[in-house]
């Protein structure tokens, strides 16, 4: 099963992808996580990418397409994967389609988590992230047992640079301008399935699982 989990910043892609990984036993491939790891490791690519990410802008297409091309060749992705945060522009979607057509391994479905903008802002501004195991918490909706500490791996939680108010506004604008057309790209190919992303995390997962299996 090859999936693209689509949705605006804060829609719950990371939260739901972690559950899909357990349910389908396929890896999550998050370009955001890969870029943040490169930033933390201070690689030249990571330092360059950080300039775009911290300002809420998209990293250039050739960088992220290269990352995904390398990642999906790894043995753990042979049986499928969940792309999270990619593709984010129509040129990225076209590059992915060409890549997968060459291998005869097309995308099966593109579930799109639908969440109104005011809810997205509340989710992003209260998010606390684990830089080690990537778990996402929320000061109000999904608070960790001990403040500032990851329940899963005990690392210190961080407030992402791009979850600060100016960057959140810019990310939502960037989504509307550059990423929303990707939805039409997959709708035209009959792969898009809309999923209501509002409500309890377990209820969203139930709707998402049904959509994926439909
Ligand atoms: P990326 O890391 O992909 O960020 P994003 O798409 O903006 O998504 P988020 O991680 O912010 O949100 P999410 O949908 O995963 O929500 P989450 O589950 O955490 O990208 C970051 C940056 O990297 C980009 O801005 C760009 O610069 C760069 N980049 C990455 N990919 C790129 C690409 N392909 N091309 C170019 N640049 C790229 O949930 C959010 C919060 O809500 C959490 O606190 C969570 O606990 C809470 N929550 C989740 N579900 C619920 C619920 N049902 N009810 C209440 N709270 C909930």
Q: Measured from the CB, is residue 111 less than 6 Å from ligand 1?
A: no
**pLDDT greater than 90 at residue 103:** no
Cα-based angle 14, 20, 22 (whole degrees, multiple of 5): 110
- The model's pLDDT over 55-87, given as tens digits with 9 standing for 90+, comes to 999 999 999 999 999 999 999 999 999 999 999
pTM as predicted: 0.95
**pLDDT greater than 90 at residue 205:** yes
Q: How many CB atoms within 10 Å of residue 95?
A: 19
Q: For strands 136-138 and 127-129, give the pairing.
A: antiparallel
Q: Which of 36, 134, 160, 191 is catalytic?
A: 160
Instruction: Please compute, for residue 117, the number of CA atoms within 13 A of its CA located in the half-sphere on the CB side.
Output: 8
pLDDT given for residue 214 in this prediction: 87
Annotated active-site residue 189? The verdict is no
Give the atom of ligand 1 at the shortest distance from the alpha carbon of 53: 27
Give the atom of ligand 1 at the shortest distance from the alpha carbon of 35: 23
Architecture of domain 2-26+79-116+172-213: 3-Layer(aba) Sandwich (3.40)
Q: Which of 2, 71, 123, 127 is catalytic?
A: 127
Q: Percentage of residues in the chain with pLDDT exceeding 90?
A: 96
Structural Rg of the chain based on CA atoms: 16
Is residue 6 within 8 A of residue 113, CB to CB? The reply is yes
């Amino acid at each position: 099963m090859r999936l693209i989990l689509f949705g605006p910043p804060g829609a719950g892609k990371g939260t739901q992808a972690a559950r899909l990984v357990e349910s389908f036993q396929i890896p999550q491939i998050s370009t955001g996580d890969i870029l943040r790891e490169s930033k933390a490791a201070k690689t030249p690519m990571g330092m360059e990418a950080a300039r775009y990410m911290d300002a809420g802008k998209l990293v250039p297409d050739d960088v992220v397409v290269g990352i995904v091309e390398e990642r999906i060749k790894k043995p753990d992705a042979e049986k499928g994967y969940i792309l999270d945060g990619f593709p984010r522009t129509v040129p990225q979607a076209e590059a992915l389609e060409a890549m997968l057509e060459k291998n005869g391994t097309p995308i099966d479905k593109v579930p799109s988590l639908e969440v109104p903008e005011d809810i997205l802002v509340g989710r992003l501004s209260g998010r606390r992230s684990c830089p080690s195991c990537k778990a996402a918490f929320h000061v109000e909706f999904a608070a960790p047992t001990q403040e500032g500490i990851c329940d899963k791996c005990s690392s210190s939680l961080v407030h992402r640079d791009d979850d600060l108010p100016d960057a959140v506004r810019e990310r939502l604008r960037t989504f509307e301008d550059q990423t929303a057309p990707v939805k039409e790209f997959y709708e035209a190919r009959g792969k898009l399935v809309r999923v209501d992303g509002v409500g309890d995390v377990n209820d969203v997962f139930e709707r998402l699982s049904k959509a994926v299996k439909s």
